[in-house]
Amino acid sequence: MNRLNELRAEKNLKQEDLAKILSVDIGMISRYERGSNIMVNVDFENNICDYFGCSLDYLRGRSNIKNEAKYSETLKKISSMIMNFYSSDKKNKQDLSDEDLAQFEDFILRFKELFQQLSKSRYHFQK
């Protein structure tokens, strides 16, 4: 299944609905979803990405991370929540040292990198 098709399905949009939203011919949507060998205007793909809030790499199937900025922000929030929970604040005092907290933060960053690598390898494997 094509990513554009998936994105449309998530919003319950028909091809003709999306064509109207993007001010393009329905045939362009159809050809893009079929993967027809057409020259695609970069503005067309950028408009799709803007509308669905996804990256161009996600739209093209090069990444499984729909929105890198949101993904990174989510990881930061999770990391911050855990760091705050294990901070030296008296009401939440836990048995992790500052060194342990730094290692945990490093783990979160490595997890992000590994997830991105996995995402890219899945793309290459599917081709």
Query: Whole-angstrom Cα distance, residue 40 to residue 48?
Result: 12
**The 3-state secondary structure of 18-58, one letter per residue:** HHHHHCCCHHHHHHHHHCCCCCCCHHHHHHHHHHHCCCHHH
pLDDT digits (tens, 9 = 90+) for 75-85: 777 777 777 77
Backbone angles phi, psi at 104, to 5 degrees: -65, -45
- Report whether 120 contacts 63 (CB < 8 A): yes
* Structure tokens, 98: 């500052």
* Structure tokens, 115: 């997830």
pLDDT digits (tens, 9 = 90+) for 80-117: 777 777 666 555 555 667 787 788 778 877 877 777 77
Q: What is the pTM of this model?
A: 0.58
pLDDT digits (tens, 9 = 90+) for 2-53: 899 999 999 999 999 999 999 999 999 999 998 876 777 889 999 999 999 9
